[in-house]
Amino acid sequence: MKIAFLADPLSGFKIYKDSTFAMMREAVRRGHRIHVFEQRHLVLDEGVVTAEATEIRLTGDADDWYEEGDTDIVPLSAFDAVLQRKDPPFDMEYVYGTYLLELAERQGARVINKPSAIRDHNEKLTIAEFSQFTSPTLVSSSGTRLRAFHAEHGDVIFKPLDGMGGAGIFRVKDDGLNLGSIIETLTENGARTIMAQKYIPAIVKGDKRVLVIDGKPVPFSLARIPQAGEVRGNLAAGGTGVAQPLSERDREIAESLGPALAARGLLLVGLDVIGDFLTEVNVTSPTCFQEITDQTGFDVAAMFIDAVEKRVTGN
């Protein structure tokens, strides 16, 4: 197969932990040819969505880990699969990319995850569809409503709807210290909608990333344990990743959401679970493949490429 990866610049990859690299390595191991391009390389020309894509070869070297081959401008439909692996921020430029990819689908391209499904599933707001698994949650731009939510629950997490890597997350305890300033800053004085969630004490045991591939959960999660004095477990915020078997509740959540999300074109989903509660549904570029594989021996990338091959061949 010819697989194209829409990704951020390869020069920024940390291949010892990068999930996209793990996908590439497994695809190459199976004999597939891989190509890469960035979102800026997408072009709509005379009605056809093309990309300036470069074929690469993996060298096996830790530093100079790839060699570039030919670069060609080709329709996305020329690839057997196009894997959307661009990281957030999920800004309007990202949205424009999903429009182009969706048009490419109509021209025969097979894009994973499905562009319209990425666009329609905000990683924070999607939990509202599955409120039976969530802690008390409020989404609002109203300072009055957000203050009332804090008054009711006493210990609250406030976060933007478009953040990543733990950026912009604040905890306000029952003393209300800096409550007004935090609400004003995050909402830009009522101009932006944010999320408030009742604080979940189980965060001290980790913010668990539960990967779901083609509707089926990976049997291990990665618990991202916050540093001392932190409420954010994100690896980007300094959390420590500890792989562990799924709990009964983890599996219940994954098996409830997985088939529905897969049917919408979300082949790969990263559920965030704290304690017994679903907190986010990650659909843009879910990670933690290598951490789970390195610690447990379960080959997450192999499970993912199996699913891609199944989508392509139908077998």
CATH number of the domain encompassing residue 164? 3.30.1490.20
Residue 297 CB burial class (10 angstroms; 0-12, 13-18, ≥19):
exposed
**φ, ψ of residue 41 in degrees (nearest 5):** -90, -5
In a domain, 264, yes or no: yes
Q: Which of 102, 208, 209, 234 is catalytic?
A: 209
Q: Are strands 277-282 and 48-58 parallel, antiparallel or unpaired?
A: unpaired
What b-and-e string marks burial along 247-271, b requiring 16 or more CB atoms within 10 Å of the CB? eeebbebbeebbeebbeebbbbbbb
Res 165: pLDDT: 75
Q: How far apart are CA 36 and CA 104, in angstroms?
A: 16
Q: Which of 86, 114, 159, 198 is catalytic?
A: 159
**Strand ranges in 142-193 using DSSP code E only, listed in sequence order:** 156-160, 170-172
In a domain, 127, yes or no: no
Q: Which of 198, 232, 234, 291 is catalytic?
A: 232
Q: How far apart are CA 233 and CA 242, in angstroms?
A: 11
Strand, helix or coil for residue 157: strand
In a domain, 157, yes or no: yes
Last residue of a domain, one of 113, 128, 157: 113
Residue 34, CB half-sphere, CA atoms under 13 Å: how many? 25
Q: Which of 18, 26, 250, 272 is catalytic?
A: 272
In a domain, 122, yes or no: no
Res 231: pLDDT: 73
In a domain, 290, yes or no: yes
Residues of the chain with pLDDT under 70: 228-229, 232-234, 236-237
Q: Are 163 and 107 in contact (CB under 8 A)?
A: no
pLDDT digits (tens, 9 = 90+) for 206-249: 999 999 999 999 999 999 998 866 776 667 667 899 999 999 99
Q: Which of 85, 110, 114, 124 is catalytic?
A: 124
In a domain, 100, yes or no: yes
In a domain, 125, yes or no: no
Catalytic residue check, 40: no
Residue 229 backbone zone (phi > 0: left; psi -120 to 50: alpha; other: beta): left
Res 229: pLDDT: 62
Residues 87 and 155 grouped into a single domain: no
Catalytic residue check, 282: yes
Question: What secondary structure does DSSP assign to 250-292, as a single string?
Answer: HHHHHHHHHHHHHHTT--EEEEEEETTEEEEEE-SS---HHHH
Last residue of a domain, one of 199, 218, 244: 199
Res 233: pLDDT: 65
Residues 16 and 101 grouped into a single domain: yes
Q: Which of 224, 234, 250, 309 is catalytic?
A: 224
Q: How far apart are CA 121 and CA 228, in angstroms?
A: 32
Catalytic residue check, 93: no
Domain count, the chain: 3
Domain that holds residue 53: 2-113
Q: Which of 18, 38, 105, 280 is catalytic?
A: 280
Residues 96 and 59 grouped into a single domain: yes
Catalytic residue check, 124: yes
Catalytic residue check, 272: yes
In a domain, 206, yes or no: yes
Res 118: pLDDT: 97
Catalytic residue check, 30: no
Catalytic residue check, 14: no
Catalytic residue check, 224: yes
CB atoms closer than 10 angstroms to residue 244: 16
**Which CATH number fits the domain that encloses residue 74?**
3.40.50.20
Q: Which of 113, 122, 234, 282 is catalytic?
A: 282
